[in-house]
């Protein structure tokens, strides 16, 4: 036999053995635990792996979901088959500046006829070419488009978006917060999307939404102005908003600009906007006067769930919040009465700030949360804190009163901020207040000092009014590294509460619960326990130590 013939036979035998080896490896891999998973579960794991890529704390710019998808498909034959037979894993097409058209063709083909979700994040004009390729080749399959790019890049894609406008249901257009100079006297004209359900436009301050914009199924609308948009842009936006108001369930508006509040208010208009289906709303402004006006402008239904207000910079001041609470009372007093108040310090949901304050006013029916209004006050750096323990400091929210809408029906109060003494003292005369939870950071905190003034009859609210007539639970939590004074504080608190009630003619201990958490030790002396017994007819708790004063013994 000649050498070439022998070599050819050996090559054939090697090929057969290599093929047998591949088959054996596949059989061996099939015995591994992960290969025993049902294909549906394996595909679900792959799907989730593409949605939680930020677990390693990488920025979104550095995340390349298409690389992860290709890596999964190259692990072994079983995984590759699962990936290629799962069109839903390819229907979300992530375009970056480095994405090649060849990959986009693979994703389109493997997605079969699934609706496509296109995401272009932090793209320049090169990345816009990839997005344009998808929009032009698959205009009838595009269900969702998300673009994060400078205005000039998104502007170049407007004609291509228009080609796909008949199919798009979700659209997010996010301009960069740091932009090159943009001529705000110019504008980019938007157009209608007949099937659009969600629209979010952020930092595209030259995008003019015409009054003809009227998607009949639009349920979510978020528009965030970053710069001082031209008046005709704001005016046109609110004209379009009035057109779609009847279908909206979620609304978000942000005015983070240097324009005067009067210019913005003139552009918004004064005609009320009725929103019969609105469930959630969020408003942000750094210009005084905007938030109260928005609250008065939008008429929400009794079924609304939450409203979030964020006053930032110059809008985060006492006068602005007084105007906000007045607007809330005018607009919401006929809808619900708050029975829960929460006051706590930041950080807020957007800009971290240790001086930020959040005020929540809620209505609960049993364990069910019916309505919630939250207000964030975020002062500029270097400004005086919004709350201060000094009595002469301007209060950022309305003064507690049993006659006002905000406080008149309060049942629970949870305070994690340093409220002024006068504020605490006023709580004593809310007739419905039953539970107080608060944070203690120093022995002479506002609540303790307020009780001292009530006992001696000081302050503007002195008289024969009953003190804390419905209070049944007091729950302080100590915060700090050096709180050796906590037992003295607890004993003094019990004594002051007893004297305050004695001054009101209360003969029997009214508290069902006196609970201290965050204490420095777990043991109390007998004198402190006796002071608890004088005001508690139920349970006293010190960290994990518990006394039931409904019984005759400890």
pLDDT of residue 349: 56
Q: Which among 538, 461, 552, 539 is positioned nearest to 504, based on CA atoms?
A: 461
496, two tokens = 């002051």
Would 110 be classed as within a structural domain?
Answer: yes
Q: What is the mean pLDDT of residues 412-441?
A: 89
Q: Is the per-residue pLDDT at 4 higher than 90?
A: no
Q: What percent of the chain has pLDDT over 90?
A: 38
Would 344 be classed as within a structural domain?
Answer: no
Q: Is the per-residue pLDDT at 145 higher than 60?
A: yes
d(CA 364, CA 340): 7
Report CA-CA distances (Å) from 502 to 464, 467, 470, 499: 12, 9, 15, 5
Q: What confidence tier does 461 reach under pLDDT thresholds 50, 70, 90? A: very low
244, two tokens = 């779609």
d(CA 313, CA 349): 15
Would 414 be classed as within a structural domain?
Answer: no
Q: What percent of the chain has pLDDT over 70?
A: 84
Q: Which among 234, 212, 214 is positioned nearest to 223, based on CA atoms?
A: 234
Q: Which among 224, 282, 232 is positioned nearest to 257, based on CA atoms?
A: 224
What three-state secondary structure class fits 513?
Answer: strand
390, two tokens = 């000094």
Q: What is the mean pLDDT of residues 282-310?
A: 91
Based on the number of CB atoms within 10 Å of its own CB, is 203 exposed (0-12), middle (13-18) or buried (19 or more)? buried
Q: Is the per-residue pLDDT at 77 higher than 80?
A: no
What letter would DSSP give residue 432? T
Mapping DSSP onto H, E and C, the string for 27-86 reads: HHHHCCHHHHCCHHHHHHHHHHHCCCHHHHCCCHHHCCHHHHHHHHHCCCHHHHHHHHCC
Would 136 be classed as within a structural domain?
Answer: yes
Q: Is the per-residue pLDDT at 459 higher than 70?
A: no
Where residue 26 falls (left for φ over 0; alpha for ψ -120 to 50; beta otherwise) is: alpha
Number of domains in the chain: 2
Where residue 122 falls (left for φ over 0; alpha for ψ -120 to 50; beta otherwise) is: left
Would 62 be classed as within a structural domain?
Answer: yes
pLDDT of residue 90: 84
Q: Is the per-residue pLDDT at 179 higher than 60?
A: no
Contacts for 463 with CB less than 8 Å, ≥ 6 apart:
none
Would 367 be classed as within a structural domain?
Answer: no
On whether the CB atoms of residues 215 and 187 are closer than 8 A, the answer is: no
On whether the CB atoms of residues 268 and 238 are closer than 8 A, the answer is: yes
519 or 425, which is more confident? 519
Q: Is the per-residue pLDDT at 36 higher than 70?
A: no
Angle at 53 between CA 50 and CA 57, to 5 degrees: 175
Average pLDDT of the chain is: 83
> End of a domain among 121, 148, 175?
148
pLDDT of residue 135: 95
Q: Which among 168, 184, 182, 288 is positioned nearest to 232, based on CA atoms?
A: 184
pLDDT of residue 48: 73
> End of a domain among 107, 123, 148?
148
What three-state secondary structure class fits 542?
Answer: strand
Would 308 be classed as within a structural domain?
Answer: no
CA dihedral 94, 227, 383, 354 (to 10 degrees): -10
Q: What confidence tier does 460 reach under pLDDT thresholds 50, 70, 90? A: very low
The whole domain housing 518 covers: 422-554
Q: Is the per-residue pLDDT at 391 higher than 50?
A: no
| Cα torsion 82, 88, 91, 93: sign | negative
CA atoms within 13 A on the CB side of 364: 13
d(CA 495, CA 462): 19
Q: Is the per-residue pLDDT at 148 higher than 60?
A: yes
116 or 228, which is more confident? 116
d(CA 326, CA 331): 9
494 or 385, which is more confident? 494
pLDDT in tens, 38-66: 777 777 777 777 765 554 544 555 566 67
Q: What is the mean pLDDT of residues 355-367?
A: 84
Listed in order, strand segments (DSSP E) in 59-166 are: 92-95, 116-121, 142-149
274 or 420, which is more confident? 274
Q: What is the mean pLDDT of residues 166-192?
A: 80
> End of a domain among 95, 126, 148?
148
pLDDT of residue 357: 81
d(CA 445, CA 423): 12
Would 273 be classed as within a structural domain?
Answer: no
Is beta strand 142-149 parallel, antiparallel or unpaired with respect to 92-95? unpaired
Q: Is the per-residue pLDDT at 554 higher than 90?
A: no
544, two tokens = 């994990």
């Amino acid at each position: 036999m000649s050498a070439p013939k022998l070599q050819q036979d050996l090559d054939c035998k090697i090929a057969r053995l290599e093929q047998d080896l591949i088959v054996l490896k596949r059989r061996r891999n099939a015995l591994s635990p992960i290969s025993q998973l049902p294909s549906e579960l394996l595909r679900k794991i792959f799907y989730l792996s593409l949605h939680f890529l930020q677990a390693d704390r990488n920025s979104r710019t550095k995340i390349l979901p298409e690389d992860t998808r290709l890596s999964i498909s190259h692990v072994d034959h079983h995984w590759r088959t699962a990936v290629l037979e799962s069109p839903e894993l390819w229907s979300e097409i992530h375009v970056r500046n480095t994405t090649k058209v060849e990959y986009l063709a693979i994703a389109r083909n493997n997605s079969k006829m699934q609706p496509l979700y296109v995401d272009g994040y932090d793209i320049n004009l090169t990345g816009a070419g990839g997005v344009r390729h998808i929009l032009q080749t698959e205009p009838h399959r595009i269900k969702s488009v998300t673009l994060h790019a400078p205005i000039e890049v998104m502007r170049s894609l407007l004609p291509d978006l228009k080609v796909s406008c008949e199919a798009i249901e979700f659209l997010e257009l996010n301009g960069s917060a740091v932009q090159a100079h943009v001529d705000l006297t110019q504008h980019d004209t938007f157009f209608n999307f007949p099937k659009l359900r969600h629209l979010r436009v952020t930092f595209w301050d030259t995008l003019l939404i015409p009054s003809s914009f009227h998607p009949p199924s639009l349920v979510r609308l978020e528009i965030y102005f970053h710069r001082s948009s031209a008046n005709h842009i704001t005016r046109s936006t609110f004209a379009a908003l009035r057109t779609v108001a009847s279908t909206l369930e979620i609304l978000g508006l942000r005015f983070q600009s240097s324009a005067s509040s009067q210019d913005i208010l003139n552009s918004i208009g004064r005609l009320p906007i009725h929103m019969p289906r609105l469930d959630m709303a969020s408003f942000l402004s750094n210009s005084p006067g905007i938030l109260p006006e928005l609250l008065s402008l939008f008429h929400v239904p009794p079924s609304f769930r939450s409203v979030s207000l964020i006053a930032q910079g110059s809008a985060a001041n006492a006068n602005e919040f007084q105007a906000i609470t007045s607007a809330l009372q005018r607009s919401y007093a006929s809808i619900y009465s708050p029975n829960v108040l929460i006051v706590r310090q930041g950080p807020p949901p957007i800009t971290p700030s240790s001086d930020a304050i959040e005020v929540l006013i809620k209505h609960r029916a049993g364990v069910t949360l019916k309505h919630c209004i939250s207000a964030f006050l975020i002062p500029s750096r270097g400004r005086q804190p919004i709350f201060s323990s000094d009595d002469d400091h301007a209060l950022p929210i309305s003064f507690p009163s049993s006659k006002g809408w905000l406080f008149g029906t309060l049942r629970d109060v949870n305070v994690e901020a340093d409220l002024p003494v006068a504020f605490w003292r006023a709580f004593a005369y809310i007739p419905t207040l039953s539970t107080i939870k608060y944070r203690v950071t120093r022995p002479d905190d506002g609540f303790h000092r307020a009780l001292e003034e009530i006992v001696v009859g000081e302050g503007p609210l002195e008289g024969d009014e009953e003190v804390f007539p419905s209070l049944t639970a007091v729950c302080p939590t100590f915060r700090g590294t050096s709180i050796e004074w906590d037992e003295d504080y607890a004993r003094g608190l019990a004594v002051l509460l007893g004297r305050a009630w004695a001054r009101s003619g209360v003969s029997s201990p009214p508290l069902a619960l006196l609970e201290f958490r965050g204490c420095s030790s777990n043991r109390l002396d007998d004198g402190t326990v006796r002071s608890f017994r004088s005001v508690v007819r139920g349970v006293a708790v010190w960290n994990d130590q518990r006394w039931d004063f409904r019984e005759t013994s400890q």
